[in-house]
Amino acid sequence: MIWQFDLFILVLLVITALVALKVRDLLSAAMIFSIYSLLMCLLWAEMGAVDVAFTEAAVGAGLSTVFLIATILRTTRRTTD
Amino acid sequence: MSENLPFLVIAAPLFGALVASLVGWARPRYCYAIAMVSLAAGLTAAIALLVKVSGTVSGYEYRLGGWPPPIGIQHWVDPLSALILVVITAVAFLAVMSARANLQLELPGKERFVYPLMLLMVTGLSGMTLTGDAFNLYVLLEITSLSSYALVAIGRGRAAASCLNYIIMGTIGASFYLLGVGYLYLKTGSLNMIDLRQIMIAGDMHGSQTVITGFILITVGFWIKMGLYPLHGWLPNAYSFAPHAASNLMAPLMTKVSVYVSLRMMLSVFTPDFLAVHALWAQTALLVATIAIIAGSLIAYSQTDVKKLLCYLVVAEVGYMAGGMWLMNRAGITGTIYHIAADAFMTCCLFLGASGLIASTGSRHIRSFRGATRRMPWTFAAFLVGGLSMIGVPPTCGFFSKWFLIQGAIEGGAWHFVAALIFSSLINALIFFRIIELAYFKDVEHEDDVSHPPQVQRNEAPWGIRIPLFITSVVIVLLGVFSPRVINWIERFVDSVGVT
Amino acid sequence: MSDVLTFIISRFNYWIYIVLMMIGLYAMIAKRNYVKKFIGMSIFQTAIILFYVSTGVKSGATIPILEHGHDIGHAAAAINPDHYANPLPHVLMLTAIVVGVATLGVALAVVQKVHDQYETIEEPEILFKLGQE
Amino acid sequence: MNIQYLPVVAVSISLLAVPLIILLNKKPNLREAVSLLAGVVKLGCVIALVPHVLNGEQIEIVLWEFEAGLPIAFRVDGLGLLFAFVAASLWIVTTAYSIGYMRTTKSKNLTRFYSYFAISLAATLGVAFSANLLTLYLFYEALSLATFPLVTHNGDGEARSGGRRYLYFLLTTSIGLVLPAMLYIYGQVGDLNFQPGGVLVDSGMSQTTLLVLLLAFVFGFAKAALMPFHGWLPGAMVAPTPVSALLHAVAVVKVGVFSILRIITGIFGTDFMAQVNWHEIVTWVAAGTVVISSLIALSQDNLKRRLAYSTIGQLAYIILGASLLTDRAVTGSSLHILMHAFGKITLFFCAGAIYVASGKKYISQMVGLGRIMPWTMAAFLIGSMSVIGLPPTGGFVSKWLLLMGALDARMNAVVVVYLVSSLLNAAYFLPIVFRGFYVPGDDPTKPVKMKEAPLWCLIPLWITALISIALFFLSDTAIRLIEVFLGVGV
Amino acid sequence: MKVFAFVLVIVTGIMLVVTAADFPAWGDAHSPPNQYLSTHYITQAEHETAVPNMVTAVLADYRGFDTMFETAVVFCAGLAIAAILGHEKKKRYVVRRKALPKTEEGDIIIRMATRFLVPVTQLFAMYVIAHGHHSPGGGFQGGVILAATFILMTLAFDLKTILGRFSEKMTLIWANVGLFIYAGIGVLCVLLGSRFLEYSALHKILPGTDEIMARSHSMLGVEIGVALTVMSMLFAIYAHLVSKGRLEDGL
């Protein structure tokens, strides 16, 4: 376990979370959220929680994002928010 | 087999949901029968469990997977949970009994989803009552919430829009609870409720900041879930726009079970001693509850939509229980527990009555009560029993819970809470007498024409709604008449956790 | 000074989890777009998961799978609990992840239904249209 | 049959009659016969109890135990029996009267009317026989709810607003004041039974607490219509006259004062009250009510409203007497429940008879009425005399005792209040009779034709008028009952 | 709303930050959560269940009741979404086709790649399910991967085609089968005279096992059940979300 690496991911996590909520394009937001999940999964794997990381990779980065994209394409992509 | 009763209570609706979802694909008509059978089985098992618990000293444990408690998950059945379990299964049985008539009118063709979801919800609620494991409770809470989101969103019109708010608030509440449990886990290393209490007492952790924050998170989380006043925003819209079949089930049960869990956490996990240390909390909570009661009653009084009105009454009633449990004396806690049971039946009766009214008049405006005494005397009479109980008229059960709550509040010196309880009784009286007045008088247009008494068309609610409605109103009275026995039963629990 | 630094660094996970959780909470309440709200909800939930996983970490420990697992009963006597990460939070969080994705799915389905009815997924616009009804 | 069950039968007989009344919806004669029959049985039960109570027997029965030491129970004592006798006997008379009144005015929904009437009577007797405060409270509330449909019987806008006001007043005060006070006492003392010495003696409550409790009860039992909580009574006069007569001259309002008497004698205890020394506040409130309401009554033109204000004044008499705490005053006030009931119901019956026969509601229209309806007006005179307190009517006895009681208490101001108010009573009743008999009608030249009310109305009102006179001579038994209750000799 | 949310977040945040100072240090092997139950699971799991992956052992055995409801949550979500988005009047699933369409527009490379990838991925998913006892993975992860292969196919071909192979009805049936396997194993234990989900009772009917191995084997059964439910329900959720419940055309 390398705490510098840990720190790096943690900071990146905050940044991706903020960006995902900030971008005006929902599709980008979904993709950035996917990156967030992937980083999270990396962090957990590095903390020794391999099963959780595995699940998060499949679910957070994979399925959640697919669900989000499906919804965005079925509704609207733009937002003023 | 009798050893396995706790599991039967949960498994009956769960298997019912599975079978109903399968059968519903080909033969939606059979779903109703399956649901009724499985709920009846659950109710029977719950009653058997009650009988079984009455023979034990303090309670009865059931180890799932056969593992001893802190390692595995444990069901803990004591007088309190056995009582609440019977209430839940009984109310669920009655509410689902009315579902067919409502669904035929509202959502024809969706039976195959609605019944399994209802059954899953009942599974979750019964599980929450039984479980002795803090994390297991979260999972069951989520299954309950998910099915209730779906049951709300399935409705027409504004249902979906109000459901979005419900999902957000519900998730915040559940997540707060999860986080609170995490804090306790961090400090104690255990998830079993009884174990948590013992470790906290043994390690003298009641002053620990982590435990305190955990407690606050859990309490606030369940305040959101039960819809205590400033956090109630989701409740009126979600329950009033949900299909009647769904709101008949959700309104009586969801808030009550949240109250129960909150109480269980306070008494069985954190112990009254812990709460006594932080006197400020009790004052704050009582103040919030007082505001909730007053605000809920006043808003209810200003409503013209019958279901909205009932929803705000629920908000006020939640204030009763949230305040009552913080009185932390024997009468207060007894009153709260009795009120959980009483209010479940009362709310069920009122919602059933309202749905019957809407089914036969097609309107949900309060004016549709006009002339109800002649058009639907039986439906209205049963509805009225619920209303009188809400006001607190003996011998309905509403009187006795109020009796104990006020007594507890006087003992605890919480005069503002006494005032709020009385105030809300009065407002309830105003509300229901306004309805009675509408039902009695504003019926016939040709009032002056004495020689030809107008022929009023009988327009009772469908039998499918009327039968459960009658049963509920009878139960309300019986619960009142047999209140000494129920109170004795509750006091057995209250004494065992050391509330004085 | 170094004490404070160690204190801060040793709990860095916890600080970040709080920041992420608050970001999520803020988004759930203040964001107007419902998809954004639900992204916020997912961030909120993963933050809690991060907290749980962090409680189970032991410095210098490995993943919670026995090393000589294939030969059953072989090294059982010599298991040192400090060598393996705590498996319990992992189990709990597996469940929490599933619950999270299930909630997200239901929420998004409701968003689609609302979009069908009101042609928008922005909260103020929905409220406006509800007011017009 | 065991004597214990008599009070239960007395209370429940009218409840049992309700299903029969509903079943006989289509057969008015039978329906009313059932009502009368139930009334007779009820009165029989009550009278059968009299000798037992006079012998000093304890008649007590626990119906249902709500919590350990807190039962729903009946206990018969002199005061309760006296009140029960008033209510039960007048029910029979009123039922007979309402047959005439309701049929002549062609009222509708008579089944509902008789049913709720029967329920109200059950609740009234329940109050009379209550063994503890909880039982009393429950029947008190039941009475409020059961009389609501009667007050709003006409169903028009006026009736509804009057009924709403009625309910708001009664429920607000009873739930808002009596219930918390009762719970507080229960929490502190753990006993709500009416006991001769009161239950609060050894409670160690502070003076302020006791004052608050006393005021909560005195004002909380708003059926007693003590000012400023009297507003519902004139409003409730929109009800049909039989209702006003029985409920608002007898049952409902007397339940209010009866409850206050019970509180003073059974919960506080007269001796303890005297010790605590707060009773004078009640005395002055009641005295004020007596004078003010009499003055307001003078200014009323609507006959029923004048009677209503008169009732408010007479009720305050009773409370005033009770608050003096001397034996003779308390006896007098208990007796006044009986005497005033018969006098006032006669007056109400007359007002109703006048309305039925001539359609007149206002006193200013009643000029020369004595020639058209001599029998009615003669009865009115007797009723007035009883309320004013002139011999040979029952009212004289009770007022005399009250005056003596005030003298015993050395409250000369109260003596003055009694005398002044009696004069005022005379001032607002006697002119009606005088103008009825001696001032000629609109057109003196026109020959006067007698047009009396129907016999079903006339006979009951003469019965009550005659009983009013009879009570002057028969007051001994009543006084004995009260003495047994108080354990004193006057 | 924004100001309110901001204040709320700051207040909650401060409360949590203050509390975090009270936490045991991060990575401390002697903090309460890492001592009490953790020690038992780490040292005893293999003795008691014969599964070296402690996560699987805790998930499927010690806390098997949780996991059953976790599966039920997925099931519930699938039903919920079908209920919310489902359209009643239309025909709900298309006629089953024998083969994938040969000539359609779209990227041939993607389709060919999918054809190669799907079997391999599904094989891997089965490995993940079956090998969950010894390596990271298990029923849930495997189920998600299986669902992902179906989603991949809908992306490469189209939704109708795939629904022809794996219709909504089939997803419902398989999801039910999955949960029935799980709960059924639990009930079987009851019928054999033990408590719910007490797998050791199954050694009476599983040939050649003792109580411990029975636990290990039952866990595999349970994992398969989880995988079936998760696979079919997640795919059904996707199918509904991507077509707004019409189940006709996907992305």
Lowest-confidence range among C66-70, D151-155, D210-214, D244-248?
A: C66-70
d(CA D419, CA D430): 16
B97-106, B452-461, C106-115: least confident range = B452-461
Cβ atoms of D483 and D78 closer than 8 Å: yes
Predicted confidence band at D167 (pLDDT cuts at 50, 70, 90)?
confident
Could you tell me which residues are beta bridge partners of residue C33?
C122
Q: Which chains touch C (3 or more CB pairs under 8 A)?
A: A, B, E
Cβ contact, residue pair A71, C35, below 8 Å: yes
Q: Does B21 touch chain E (CB under 8 A)?
A: yes
Q: Are B321 and B292 in contact (CB under 8 A)?
A: no
CA D399 to chain centre: 16
Let me know if residue D291 belongs to a domain.
no
- Write the residue in B135, B164, B178 that is nearest to C48 by C-beta: B178
pLDDT average, residue stretch E214-239: 91
Torsion over CA: E195, E198, E199, E203 (sign): negative
Angstrom CA distances, E54 to B490, C72, C94, C99, stand at 42, 14, 13, 21
% of chain D residues with pLDDT over 90: 0
Query: In the predicted model, what is the mean pLDDT of residues E208-237?
Result: 89
List beta partners, residue D75. D60
Asked if E148 and A67 come within 8 Å (Cβ–Cβ), the reply is no
Q: Please, which pLDDT band fits residue D489 given cuts at 50, 70 and 90?
A: very low
At D448, which helix (H) or strand (E)?
A: none
Which residues of B, range 104-133, sit inside 8 Å of C by Cβ?
A: none
Handedness of CA B32, B34, B40, B45 (dihedral sign): negative
Instruction: From chain C, pick out residues whose CB is under 8 angstroms from the CB of A81.
Output: 31-33, 36, 122
User: Cβ–Cβ of E37/C95 closer than 8 Å?
Assistant: no
Q: Per-residue pLDDT for B342 more than 60?
A: yes
**Structure tokens, B148:** 């209730």
Q: Which amino acid is at C68?
A: H
Lowest mean pLDDT among A4-8, D22-26, D442-446, E54-58: D442-446
Asked if this assembly's ipTM is beyond 0.95, the reply is: no
Report the chain C residue with the minimal C-alpha distance to residue A56.
Answer: C97
What is the domain extent for residue D440?
Answer: 305-490
Residue D485 lies in a domain: yes
Evaluate the omega torsion of the peptide bond into residue D447 and state whether it is cis, within 30 degrees of 0.
Answer: no
CA distance B360 to chain D (A): 25
Q: Is the pLDDT assigned to residue A42 strictly greater than 50?
A: yes
pLDDT for residue B442: 58
* Partner residue facing C79 (CB), from E25, E42, E80: E42
- Band (pLDDT 50/70/90 cuts) for residue B451 is very low
Query: Cβ separation of E190 and B7 shorter than 8 Å?
Result: yes
Q: In the structure, do chain B and chain A come into contact, i.e. share 3 or more CB pairs under 8 Å? A: no
CA distance D433 to D427: 11
pLDDT tens digits along C69-92: 545 555 455 677 778 888 899 999
Of B7, B154, B210, the CB nearest to E19: B210
**C76-90, D361-375, E15-29, E89-103: segment of lowest average pLDDT:** E89-103
pLDDT band, residue B358 (cuts 50/70/90):
confident
Q: Give the Cα separation of C121 and B248 in Å (integer).
A: 29
- B466-471 contact pairs (CB < 8 A, 24+): B466/B356, B466/B378, B466/B379, B466/B382, B467/B97, B468/B94, B468/B95, B468/B97, B468/B98, B468/B352, B469/B98, B469/B349, B469/B352, B469/B353, B469/B356, B469/B379, B469/B382, B469/B383, B470/B378, B470/B382, B471/B94
The string of pLDDT tens digits covering residues C6-55 is 777 777 888 889 999 999 999 999 988 999 999 999 999 999 999 999 88
Q: How confident is the model at residue B452 (pLDDT cuts 50, 70, 90)?
A: very low
In angstroms, the separation between the Cα of residue C115 and the nearest Cα of chain A is 6
| Largest CA-CA distance found in chain D, in angstroms, rounded | 76
Residue D490 is predicted with a pLDDT of: 41
pLDDT tier, B124 (very low <50, low <70, confident <90, very high otherwise) = very high
Q: Residues 139 to 158 of B: which have CB under 8 A from any E CB? A: 139-140, 142-143, 146-147, 149-150, 153-154
Which residues share a beta bridge with D14? Answer: none
Q: pTM of the prediction?
A: 0.89
- Report chain C residues whose CB lies below 8 A from the CB of E74: 98, 102
Question: For residue D94, how many other CB atoms are within 10 A of its CB?
Answer: 29
Residue D297 inside a domain? The answer is no
In whole angstroms, what is the distance from residue B397 CA to residue B317 CA?
14
Task: Give whichever of A1-5, B61-65, B247-251 has the largest mean pLDDT.
Answer: B247-251
Q: Assess if residue D431 is contained within a domain.
A: yes
Nearest by CB to residue A44, choosing from C43, C53, C61, is C53
From residue B33, give the alpha-carbon distance in Å to each of B24, B247, E225: 11, 20, 27
Each residue's pLDDT tens digit, E93-145: 444 444 455 445 567 888 888 889 999 999 999 999 988 888 888 889 999 99
Q: How confident is the model at residue B224 (pLDDT cuts 50, 70, 90)?
A: very high
Interface of A with E (CB under 8 A): 1, 50-51, 53-55, 58-59, 62-63, 66-67, 70-71, 73-74
Strands D59-67 and D70-76: antiparallel
What is the rounded average pLDDT of the residues D42-63? 83
Say if residues C52 and A49 touch (Cβ distance below 8 Å).
no
**Quick one: pLDDT at residue D213?**
87
Q: What is the pLDDT of residue D444?
A: 60
Whether D176 and chain B come into contact, CB under 8 Å, resolves to: yes
Identify the pLDDT of residue E250. 60
Question: Looking at the predicted structure, is the pLDDT value of residue D183 above 50?
Answer: yes
* Distance from chain centroid for Cα D332: 15
Total domain count, chain A: 1
In residues, how long is chain E? 251
Q: How confident is the model at residue D488 (pLDDT cuts 50, 70, 90)?
A: low
Question: Does the pLDDT at position D175 exceed 60?
Answer: yes
Contact residues, B window 200-229, toward E, CB-based 8 Å cutoff:
208-210, 212-213, 216
Q: For the residues B475-479, what does the mean pLDDT come to?
A: 92
Pick the more confident residue, D154 or B113: B113
Cα–Cα distance for residue pair D241/D260, rounded to 1 Å: 26
With contacts defined as CB-CB under 8 Å, which chain C residues touch A52?
49, 53, 90, 93-94, 97
Residue ranges of alpha helices (H) inside chain E are 2-20, 32-49, 54-57, 64-85, 108-130, 139-156, 159-165, 168-191, 211-242
Mind listing the domains of chain C with CATH numbers?
16-58+81-132 (1.10.287.3510)
Q: What percent of chain C has pLDDT over 70?
A: 90
User: Do D107 and D242 form a contact (C-beta atoms < 8 A)?
Assistant: no
Instruction: Determine contact, residues D407/D415, Cβ cutoff 8 Å.
Output: yes
Assess whether pLDDT exceeds 60 at residue B324: yes
Q: How far apart are CA D424 and CA D312, in angstroms?
A: 13
- Beta-bridge partner residues of D64: D72
Nearest chain B residue (CA) to E83: B113
Nearest to B109 among E66, E75, E88 (CB): E88
The pLDDT-based confidence of E88 (bands split at 50, 70, 90) is: low
How far lies B383's CA from each of B172, B356, E208, in Å?
Answer: 35, 9, 63
C-alpha D398/C-alpha E34 separation (Å) is: 87
Residue D9 lies in a domain: no
User: Which pLDDT band holds residue B421 (cuts at 50, 70, 90)?
Assistant: very high
pLDDT bin (cut points 50, 70, 90) of residue C109 is very high
Consecutive H or E run containing B248: helix B244-264
The count of CB pairs under 8 A between chains A and C is 141
Contact of chains B and D by CB distance (3 or more pairs under 8 angstroms): yes
Count Cβ atoms below 10 Å from residue D242 Cβ, excluding itself: 29
All residues at 6 or more sequence positions from E243 whose CB lies less than 8 Å from its CB, including other chains: A74, E159, E249, E250
Inter-chain touch A63–E144, beta carbons under 8 Å: yes
pLDDT given for residue C78 in this prediction: 65
The answer to whether the CB of D101 falls within 8 A of the CB of D455 is no
Q: What is the mean pLDDT of residues D219-226?
A: 84
> Do the chains contact at B73 and E63, CB–CB below 8 Å?
yes
| Cis amide leading into D444 (omega within 30) | no
Where is average pLDDT lowest: B120-134, B348-362, C76-90?
C76-90
Highest mean pLDDT among B316-320, D406-410, E168-172, E215-219: B316-320
Burial of B302 (0-12, 13-18, 19+ CB in 10 A): exposed
Q: Which of B191-205, D385-399, E80-94, E163-177 comes out lowest in average pLDDT?
A: E80-94
Residue A14: inside a domain: yes
Domain for residue A40, yes or no? yes
Average pLDDT over residues D91-109: 80
In the structure, what pLDDT confidence band is assigned to residue E154 with cuts at 50, 70 and 90?
Answer: confident
Is E147 in contact with A67 (Cβ distance < 8 A)? no
Q: Which residues of E touch B7 (CB under 8 A)?
A: 186, 190, 195-196
Write down the residue that tokens 């939640």 correspond to. B318
Would you call the peptide bond into C81 cis, given omega within 30 degrees of 0 as the criterion?
Answer: no
Interface mutation vs chain B, best among C22, C46, C110, most B CBs within 10 Å: C110
Phi and psi at residue D487, to the nearest 5°: 70, 30
CB pairs under 8 A between B and C: 73
In a domain, A81, yes or no: no
Is residue D363 a part of any domain in this protein? Answer: yes
Cβ-nearest to C96 among B161, B168, B178:
B178
Q: What is the percent of chain C where pLDDT is above 90? A: 40
Mean pLDDT score, D70-98: 85
Q: Is E107 exposed, middle or buried (0-12, 13-18, 19+ CB in 10 A)?
A: exposed
Range of the domain at A65: 3-74
